[in-house]
């Protein structure tokens, strides 16, 4: 499981504030399909929210740790039924995210 420093955790909590849950875990609990969906979401987004189904707080906390152990991710936050999970993207995916910012001049907009 991935360990985060308090500074990293604080930054990730701030980033996760505007996110909506990417995966919803229903009454059936944690199945292989749910784990695959969480893994897919983590590969593409790195930081996700997961909405857990019914259950007490201890069960949801155990669910969070189980997900993080199976996916080699880091638990960021657990508030109510919302779990925030972080896993850095693999290097080949991360390299594909480079963007070149192009400065446009006023005249460039007039020619469009």
Summarised one tens digit per residue, pLDDT across range 25-73 is: 988 889 999 999 999 999 989 999 999 987 789 999 999 999 999 999 9
91-103 in b/e burial notation, b at 16+ Cβ within 10 A? Answer: eeeeeeeeeeeee
% the chain with pLDDT above 90: 63
Q: What is the DSSP string of 1-14?
A: -----HHHHHHHHH
Domain ranges of the chain: 6-90
Closest C-alpha to 46, from 19, 65, 69 = 19
Q: Which CATH superfamily is domain 6-90 in?
A: YhbY-like (3.30.110.60)
For 65-87, what is the mean pLDDT? 94
Q: What is the DSSP letter of 54?
A: S
Whether the full predicted model's pTM is greater than 0.85, yes or no, is no
Collapsing DSSP states into helix, strand and coil, what is residue 82? strand
- Chain mean pLDDT for the chain: 85
């Amino acid at each position: 499981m991935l360990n985060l420093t308090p500074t990293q955790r604080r930054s990730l909590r701030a980033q996760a504030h505007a996110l909506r849950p990417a995966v919803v875990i229903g009454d059936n609990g944690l199945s292989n399909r749910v784990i695959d969906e969480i893994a897919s979401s983590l590969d593409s987004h790195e930081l996700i929210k997961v909405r857990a189904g019914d259950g007490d707080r201890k069960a949801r906390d155990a669910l969070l740790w189980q997900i993080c152990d199976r996916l080699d991710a880091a638990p960021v936050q657990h508030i109510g039924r919302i779990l925030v999970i972080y896993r850095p993207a693999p290097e080949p995916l991360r390299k594909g995210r480079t963007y070149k910012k192009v400065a446009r001049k006023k005249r460039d907009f007039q020619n469009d």
